[in-house]
Structures are given as structure tokens and as C-alpha cells.
Amino acid sequence: MSEPFNTWQNRFENLRSNKIFEGIVISIIVLSALVIGAKTYEETTRIEQWLLYLDIAVTIFFLIEILIRMAAERNLISFFKKGWNVFDFLIVTASLIPMDDSEMVLLARLLRIFRVLRLVSMIPELQMLLGALLKSIPRMGYVVLLMFIIFYIYAAIGSFLFHNVDEGLWGNIALAMLTLFQVATFESWATAVLYPTMEVYPYAWIYFLTFIFLNAFIFLNMMIGIVLDVMQKESAQMALDNGEGEEAELQALRNDVRGLKAQLDRMESALDQRGSSSTEQSAVNSSDAQHNAR
């Protein structure tokens, strides 16, 4: 590559990693979200034209920003190897859909809403949180399966015991599961479910309290524990990648120990070679001495 090209690329790379530039991008993303929210109020019809101009300006800024990030890469292919870069590119490209077309205006507005998600790609901590959430989903699947089993068992028991209390709540197992979901979310469960049931079955509180204890306390805390465990690992990995924290210090110590071990191995190998050479030389000298004696 030519020298002027490398110079401009270095400038774009410095601009991309500049904290002030990142702060401006984050501010524009927030401004874009506020513009989208402002358009939902009827009072803003008087300044609708100004909001349209502001939306166009934000779109142009995002386009320039994504072009700067692409120009800062040594290889354009490496830009698209990162998932967040692909996401940003798609969001910015979709924002270029014109707003004046009546058939595309709804799609354009929906796509502009997703520009708020660019905050995740700009803030590493949010990326870590989202990554931890996604990685914890497979482990939470087993907890969800166990919750479904408990829901099913309690729904079957409830439909057998309380179907004569309210057919709309306990008429079949599907309605019973919906009722238990209302109980699990504490949405008017006492007045709508518990008290009417206790008027017919005074000891029904045992059924509801055991169900709430299992779902609202045990299973919910299990899910929280899984997410926190994954978040802790992700945070440690991010600190390690950034060269911060205890994990980074331990990794540096491990690397130092490996380096010292490699040096000792080389020294030991050199000593072995020198020892074997000395032995061979001694054998040669001894052979020469015997030959001279003869």
C-alpha cells in the first residue's frame, strides 16, 4: 500500500479509537432514540419537519461513522468478521430507506428504532452483559424444563381439586397452568385466585404457598445464580483481555513461569550437549594416548 493511504488509514484508526469520538457517537444514538420517541406525541406535529431534518442528519452521521470504521480496518474483510460490526452495518444501511414513501414508512420507522441497540455495540460492558445473557440461556433451559414439570404437576392437581370453584380458572389443565402463571407473577393472585378458592377449600393456602415457594424463590434464584455465574466468567475474561484484574496478573505470572521453564530447558539441553562433547573428547584423547603408548 502507498504511504498516503497508510497515513489516512492511521488517522481513521486513531479517530475510531478516540474517546471523544466514541462519546459523540453515543450521544447521537441517544439523540436518535429521543427523536423516535418525540414522534409518538401529537404535540410534535408542529415541528415534524424539523424532526425529519434531524433524522436525516443523524442518518448521515451514522453513515459517515460506519465508513470511518470501515476505512480504519487494515482489511475490509476483517471488519465483517465481527458480529457487532455486521449488526451496525445492517442497521445503518437499513436507515437509508426513505421516509417519504407511504408503503415503506412503517418499515423505515421500525428499523430506525433498532438504532438504539447500537449502544450495545459501542459500550463493551453492555456487550459483556448481553453475551452473558445469551450464554446462560442453555443452562437456564434445564431450570425452565424443571419449572414446566412443576407447573404441570400443580396444574393437574389444581384442575382436579378446584375445578368446581371456578371453571374459568381451573376448568382444564391449560387454564390451570395460566392461572398458576398469574400466581407466579403475583398479578392480583390473592384477590382473584387465592381468596375465592379458600372460601371453598380453607386449606388451599398450602397448595399456593408451596407453589410460590418453589417457583418464585427457588427457581428464580437458580436462574439469577446462573446468570451471575456466567457474568462473572465473562467479566474475568474481559479483564484478562484488557490486561486488568487478578486473572491478568495470574496469566502474566504463568507466562513468566513458562518463559523461565523454557530457558531452563534450553540451558539443560546445552549442558547435556556440552557434557556429551566432553565425554567424546575424553574418549578420543584416551584412545590417542593408548595408541602412542603402543
Highest mean pLDDT among 9-18, 22-31, 260-269: 22-31
* Angle 44-27-86 from CA coordinates, rounded to 5°: 105
Question: How high is the pLDDT of residue 150?
Answer: 92
pTM for this one? 0.58
Question: How high is the pLDDT of residue 149?
Answer: 92
Q: pLDDT tens digits for 208-258?
A: 999 998 888 888 888 888 888 888 887 777 776 666 556 556 666 777 777
Cβ pair 156, 251 in contact under 8 A: no
Q: Which long-range contacts (CB under 8 A, 24 or more apart) does 160-168 make?
A: 161/201, 161/204, 161/207, 162/197, 162/200, 162/201, 162/204, 164/200, 165/196, 165/197, 165/200, 165/201, 166/196, 166/197
Question: How high is the pLDDT of residue 153?
Answer: 93
Give, in order, the Cα–Cα distances in Å from 292 to each of 106, 217, 280, 284, 285. Answer: 106, 95, 18, 12, 11
**Cβ atoms within 10 A of the Cβ of 25, count?**
20
Q: Mean per-residue pLDDT for 283-293?
A: 55
Q: pLDDT tens digits for 132-174?
A: 888 888 888 888 899 999 999 999 999 998 888 888 889 899 9
The domains found in the chain, sorted by start residue, are: 3-122 (1.20.120.350), 127-241 (1.10.287.70)
Question: How high is the pLDDT of residue 56?
Answer: 82
Question: How high is the pLDDT of residue 53?
Answer: 81
Q: pLDDT tens digits for 51-85?
A: 778 888 888 888 888 888 888 877 778 788 887 78
Could you tell me the pLDDT band of residue 45, with boundaries at 50, 70 and 90?
A: low
Residue 10 has pLDDT above 90, yes or no: no
* Phi-psi map region of 101: left, alpha, beta (phi>0 left; psi -120 to 50 alpha): beta
**Cβ atoms within 10 A of the Cβ of 159, count?**
19
Q: pLDDT tens digits for 94-113?
A: 777 666 655 566 666 777 77
Question: How high is the pLDDT of residue 6?
Answer: 67
